[in-house]
Structure 1
Amino acid sequence: MLQALALVVPSKPCRALAGAAIAMAVLAGCASAPDTPSAATAVEAAATPAQAKPHWQRVHLGTGAGYDFPVYTNHPLDQDLSRIREVVFVQHGLQRNGDDYYAAGAALLKASGRNPDEVLLVAPNFPGTPDHGKGFDGMPQWSVQGWMSGENAVNAPFTVSSLQVLDDMMAFVTDKARLPRVARVTVAGHSGGAQIVHRYAVLNNVDERIRARGIDLRYVVANPSSYLYFTAVRPAGADGRSFAPYDKAVCPDYDKYRYGMQDIVPYAKGANGQSLYQRYAGRQVTYLAGTEDNDPNHRVLDKACGAEAEGPTRLQRARGYLRYERYLASPGLVIRHQAYEVVGVGHDQARMFGSQCGARAVFDMAETANPDGAACRAPQL
């Protein structure tokens, strides 16, 4: 039985985050504080054409010769970071638009009332093969979707996995010589960004070592198109509440990575599904699913047969995966995962992360500090 799946229902519904849909991504909800602009006002200001777009920084990562990588942050990474206590990663989606994600995240970080001198907001930007002319010369590049699943860079001499990039970013921000006060790191993603965050939460080999050093490491996975299954079964039956191997006549490769464990990326070569599940159960993951993200024909929904094997919509795929975690759990296994449905919200990263449970997951904001965030409820399993 899934013993540690925290399903919290707010005592009363709250208004949706007004005006936030104009942002490409939001990582905090409204905070009511004297002389502090509202979240909607802050987002509108960030979206004003007269305001210059932020510029990315080139950070050097890896060991040996290493490699350069572009990130958007609210602090220069080559200067004093000794006051930083918390790091929040916000991962872009399919469009690889880290600037938009950073700009809206920074605006609402300000609106949240948090001390920006103590929070490092980081938006990694994976260069894709179509991104010529953006200044990413001499850096790894990935195929348009390859970065989401952890594939290796496609341009010589680089062979680094996108998941290794996250490892290297994690090493950077948890280096006590550089950031001695960091006590919490949150890695959050929506849609395509949620796909890589989820797979990173499953596959990385650094989580336990980081937490053993007293750093609270958390992942927030919101509205991904698919999840990584540890075994060959998928939701079955008319209600999706049972599990069985999928029909290979419909989809011969349904259990291949990035949906299953077959032909997994080199980053995780040799990994065993059951062992990965046991380890993943102990990691701090929050799932967010919009109750209105239920369109089987959504324009950016993954409609590959491997994804369709998980369910027809993102909402159903999320519910199916939560049931699957229960299905796999052995007696006595403690699963440190939380899950919420964001009421009345579809495929909208602004309202998902601006919701009461979203703002709590990313910035640990109490509901009383976010009265305009969308309400959340326990998953309907």
Structure 2
Amino acid sequence: MNNRILFLAFTSLLLVFFNSCQYKPETPPDYVVSDGSNLNTFIKVNLDNSSSRTTTFYTSINLNNDTPLPQVTSIALVVHGLSYDYQTQFQSMYNSVYDVGKISSTLIVAPFFSNNAADNNIFWNGATWRIGANSEDGQSSFLLLEKFLKDYVFTEKLPNLKNILLIGHSAGGQFIQRYAALNNLEQQYENYTFKYVVSDPSSYLYINNKRFSDEDNQYVTPTDCEGYDDYHYGLADVASFTDYRDDLDSSTIVSQNLNRLVTYATGTEDLDNADNSCQANWQGGGSDITSTSQNSRHKRALYMQMFYDSLYTDKHKHQLFKIEGIDHDAAGIYRSIEFMNWLSINLN
């Protein structure tokens, strides 16, 4: 009996010891200030036109001086959606980078593309910033991104920078996916590696006029939806989209897009959509599939990857991963094990 009591006591002590030795991740510092409405450091950008309005880029490190930052090897720039929650998306990205042990070598950035004129913001009606369009005073959101990168990131201040991660959820995913296809910034800065994460947008830019038909179980050229292949759903009229560039050419876009390092991240429970137009519905199996649960963001993400795998086989560098149980939730994506695994591989 005494031996049994001693054994139980010894076992209890062992359990306490091993529990105390288990790894417990540190709680990341709360970067957003106490009221949650502002971040500590930021850059204000405009395109040097006649407007005095600016777009704000919030940063985890002060870029407003000439102090070199040799420790920084990567930038993770995250674009908000239509909830305009740049603070919480910044925080989610910061926490995940922190958790994978890369915060000391990574610059976190979150731009705020405003839908109103408060605080002298550059602003867009109809949230057209998500497709690179001009603001009300003629400033393209794509060009504002490039202005920030060229003036404050691609400089001697960051001599060891290697990785440019451009990430967006929902409308932010629309922004990133279209920018990945259209930009020529990669050609201008070949010493950097650009990588893009597109998380559950409601629609995508397709690079040819084929769409998968659930009814026919094959790719078809739709005939029942005018404009299904016009920008921002496709490339049919992309040369007329001059807000960003006046030299856009569909054949060049196709070629460069296939070589872009694009990752689609999708929550398996993102079973709604914010675009029920025939143009968007054709990205989920057909214009007649109007039930959002049958033509969801998740389904459209799977069909986007299937498009590249089916029609471009080994000619593309696009990939997809799923996050089980996550609905339309940026924090759910960015704080997931799957996304943090991607970060740990790509922040080096």
TM-score by length of 2: 0.79
Do residues 71 (structure 1) and 71 (structure 2) align?
A: no
Paired residues of 1:235 and 1:310 also in contact (CA < 8 A): yes
Do residues 313 (structure 1) and 271 (structure 2) align?
A: no
Aligned to 1:376: none
Aligned to 2:124: 142
Aligned to 2:171: 192
Aligned to 2:256: 279
Do residues 209 (structure 1) and 199 (structure 2) align?
A: no
CA shift at 1:189, angstroms? Answer: 0.7
Paired residues of 1:286 and 1:361 also in contact (CA < 8 A): no
Aligned to 1:255: 229
Aligned to 2:276: 303
Gaps of 5+ in 2: 1-20, 285-294
Task: Determine helix, strand or coil for the equivalent of 2:63.
Answer: coil
Q: Deviation string for 1:225-261 (max 9, x for gaps)?
A: 111012222111337x51112233xx32222211112
Question: Match for 1:127 among 110, 114, 117?
Answer: 114
Which structure carries more helix by proportion?
A: 2
Q: 1:63 to 1:205 in 2, by over 3 A?
A: farther
Q: Deviation string for 1:45-64 (max 9, x for gaps)?
A: 67996667425623345568
Q: Deviation string for 1:54-112 (max 9, x for gaps)?
A: 25623345568897420111112112242322111011111223222223333443344
The separation in 1 between residues aligned to 2:32 and 2:109, in whole angstroms, is 19
Task: Determine helix, strand or coil for the equivalent of 1:357.
Answer: helix
Do residues 109 (structure 1) and 97 (structure 2) align?
A: yes
CA shift at 1:362, angstroms? Answer: 3.4
Q: 1:362 to 1:66 in 2, by over 3 A?
A: farther
Q: 1:71 to 1:328 in 2, by over 3 A?
A: same
Give the stretch that moved more between structures: 118-127 or 100-109.
Answer: 100-109
Task: Determine helix, strand or coil for the equivalent of 1:364.
Answer: helix
The separation in 1 between residues aligned to 2:37 and 2:80, in whole angstroms, is 19
Query: AA paired with 2:59?
Result: T
The separation in 2 between residues aligned to 1:363 and 1:218, in whole angstroms, is 13
Question: Match for 1:341 among 308, 322, 332?
Answer: 322
Q: 1:252 to 1:87 in 2, by over 3 A?
A: same
Between structure 1 and structure 2, the one with the greater Rg is: 2
Q: Deviation string for 1:311-365 (max 9, x for gaps)?
A: 11112211221222134327xx532222112222221212212223311333437
Question: Match for 1:230 among 207, 226, 231?
Answer: 207
Do residues 90 (structure 1) and 78 (structure 2) align?
A: yes
Give the stretch that moved more between structures: 194-203 or 75-84.
Answer: 75-84
Q: 1:314 to 1:351 in 2, by over 3 A?
A: same
Q: 1:47 to 1:120 in 2, by over 3 A?
A: closer
Q: How many residues align?
A: 311
Task: Determine helix, strand or coil for the equivalent of 1:160.
Answer: coil
Do residues 175 (structure 1) and 154 (structure 2) align?
A: yes
> 1:235-250 residue pairs with structure 2 within 5 A?
235-238=212-215, 241-248=217-224
TM-score by length of 1: 0.72
The separation in 2 between residues aligned to 1:61 and 1:363, in whole angstroms, is 33
CA RMSD of aligned residues (A): 3.0
The separation in 2 between residues aligned to 1:172 and 1:35, in whole angstroms, is 40
Question: Match for 2:26 among 37, 41, 64?
Answer: 37
Task: Determine helix, strand or coil for the equivalent of 1:193.
Answer: helix
Aligned to 1:151: 133
The separation in 1 between residues aligned to 2:32 and 2:47, in whole angstroms, is 34
